[in-house]
Chains A and B, each alone.
Chain A
């Protein structure tokens, strides 16, 4: 437990978020616990709609209308973000915490030059003059590897390619040297070759600047080279949590196994192959009684449909945890 010596940068406890649906309020995120240490990179993995983006938005007071945080704490450097006033929270956003969003096309204001958008964090957090901010923006452009640097600042977003825009977005997130960068599926909208470039850029920047990174994605394989730890979300709850190498070596929750698209190395009770995951996740507010994944699970046992499994350490490890009745028994059998 030596790595626990450092105090966590961000610690989320028991977070619950609710959205209004046609059938009334429904919890989309519940009992969420995780932490990010200074300089650490955390991968948050899950299908769309599993609550990964809304968790990050919820902590930062950026929820869309109709959604609200109903429970929990999110402590960033000793302060609970959920208790901050709008004004204080505004200082955190773009200051201590930088954001990179998914779609570089729609995430830029089409009627403002990218320079005007890039200098905003500097103007409102560092109180820089416009001229200084513009100069710093040019440096940031070079930092994220945009050829031409400050010359592109007076371009409009539509004049840049998707990969370029995403680089600018990263520059925007890093403008005020944040201690945490939250990247919400930043490569999903990009071509495969560009994805790799962006990934390498963030990896490189993290090595140089030392900020912590939370990388949200639905693609487990993509983040393997970037993050230290991974949490896997399903229907608003964590189903598995592990150090990245451990997770790839020993994925334990059937959902994680499905995400990796691999075969279970040990035969489950019914010994079926798990090449893909059929079906769709439950709609918010329509969670089944037992394990939320049970209807899609090929390894389920009777207990899965009646009792919900809690996140528990797997035998032989304190840092690898899963919420699955079967995962535990499979591992026990393997150990036996």
Chain B
């Protein structure tokens, strides 16, 4: 925001212009202090999620009944819970859960949204209207309620189906209830998250479609697939990056919200959401059990929000004065 770099001269070759567009955006991002703080926190979070579990002296499951409900101390930096489990280790494992869930959910949602958006924008006509109607409708429903209903309704039949499969095949994989959890949590979350991407991609496709170079490419008889890949996708990528950054944060929040409500990934896999919900019962006596996961979740979501905002400013310089 404070420092701006020079724009490339208008006469620069197309490729140079493209490259400088990105380096330009990168420089604008570097100059945005809030965004850089966000990026640093996210990088730290990813490192912790990957390597953290090997670095803590405690397992997230190992109980030490002699050290229950301890306040933060030298041995347990964030204290222990009512089973004597190390809170720091659980928070670190929670980072892993949060990141895995938000990455997978965002990937599914982006896949659905981009596909539908591209189809809607490219095909136009009644197909476009139908897809946009679906998008608008999904967007206008309180997403948490929808996800909860999907989750609550599909859990019994899915579990029953798993049972039948187990009885038919006797393969122990069908007895793993975590699969049901993951499929349902991912599915429900992705189903309420795709409309934003769909809208964005459709708008991009519509605006790029009408440009002369795309008309020229169509006139040359290039197949639709090639036009999409070569002209439309590169143009849509900037706004999509912004949306994905915001979406990752939102998915992380949604995951913890699910866990908080008890419809998320089941214990023992620790999740910040269910740590908060557990902590809520005992926070008057052991505030650290609530404060630790809540603070970490808060910091993580804010980091994504700062980065997303910075990316938005960096990639859409027109939007700012």
| Interface of A toward B, CB cutoff 8 Å | 22-23, 65
Top 5 A-B pairs ranked by shortest CB distance? A22-B4, A22-B6, A65-B321, A23-B6, A22-B7
Which residues of chain A have C-beta atoms less than 8 A from B321's C-beta? 65
Taken together as a complex, chains A and B put the C-alpha atoms of A288 and B296 apart, in Å, by 57
The smallest beta-carbon distance between A234 and chain B, in angstroms, is 21
Which residues of chain B have C-beta atoms less than 8 A from A22's C-beta? 4, 6-7
Taken together as a complex, chains A and B put the C-alpha atoms of A131 and B155 apart, in Å, by 69
The smallest beta-carbon distance between A283 and chain B, in angstroms, is 11
| Cross-chain pair count, CB within 8 angstroms | 5
| Closest chain B residue to A23, Cβ basis | B6
Taken together as a complex, chains A and B put the C-alpha atoms of A65 and B320 apart, in Å, by 13
Which residues of chain B have C-beta atoms less than 8 A from A65's C-beta? 321
Q: Can you list 5 A-B pairs with a CB-CB distance of less than 8 A? A: A22-B4, A22-B6, A22-B7, A23-B6, A65-B321
| Closest chain A residue to B6, Cβ basis | A22
Which residues of chain A have C-beta atoms less than 8 A from B6's C-beta? 22-23
The smallest beta-carbon distance between B313 and chain A, in angstroms, is 15
Taken together as a complex, chains A and B put the C-alpha atoms of A65 and B321 apart, in Å, by 10
The smallest beta-carbon distance between B25 and chain A, in angstroms, is 15
Which residues of chain A have C-beta atoms less than 8 A from B4's C-beta? 22
B1-41 contacts to A (CB < 8 Å): 4, 6-7
The smallest beta-carbon distance between B31 and chain A, in angstroms, is 12
Taken together as a complex, chains A and B put the C-alpha atoms of A277 and B7 apart, in Å, by 26
The smallest beta-carbon distance between A279 and chain B, in angstroms, is 12
The smallest beta-carbon distance between A111 and chain B, in angstroms, is 23
Taken together as a complex, chains A and B put the C-alpha atoms of A22 and B2 apart, in Å, by 11
Taken together as a complex, chains A and B put the C-alpha atoms of A22 and B28 apart, in Å, by 13
| Closest chain B residue to A64, Cβ basis | B321
The smallest beta-carbon distance between B214 and chain A, in angstroms, is 28
Which residues of chain A have C-beta atoms less than 8 A from B7's C-beta? 22
The smallest beta-carbon distance between B198 and chain A, in angstroms, is 30
Taken together as a complex, chains A and B put the C-alpha atoms of A65 and B6 apart, in Å, by 21
| Closest chain A residue to B5, Cβ basis | A22
The smallest beta-carbon distance between B11 and chain A, in angstroms, is 11
The smallest beta-carbon distance between B318 and chain A, in angstroms, is 15
The smallest beta-carbon distance between B189 and chain A, in angstroms, is 40
Taken together as a complex, chains A and B put the C-alpha atoms of A23 and B4 apart, in Å, by 9
The smallest beta-carbon distance between A281 and chain B, in angstroms, is 14
Taken together as a complex, chains A and B put the C-alpha atoms of A65 and B4 apart, in Å, by 18
B205-239: contact bitstring with A at CB < 8 Å (1 yes, 0 no)? 00000000000000000000000000000000000
The smallest beta-carbon distance between A296 and chain B, in angstroms, is 16
B308-321: contact bitstring with A at CB < 8 Å (1 yes, 0 no)? 00000000000001
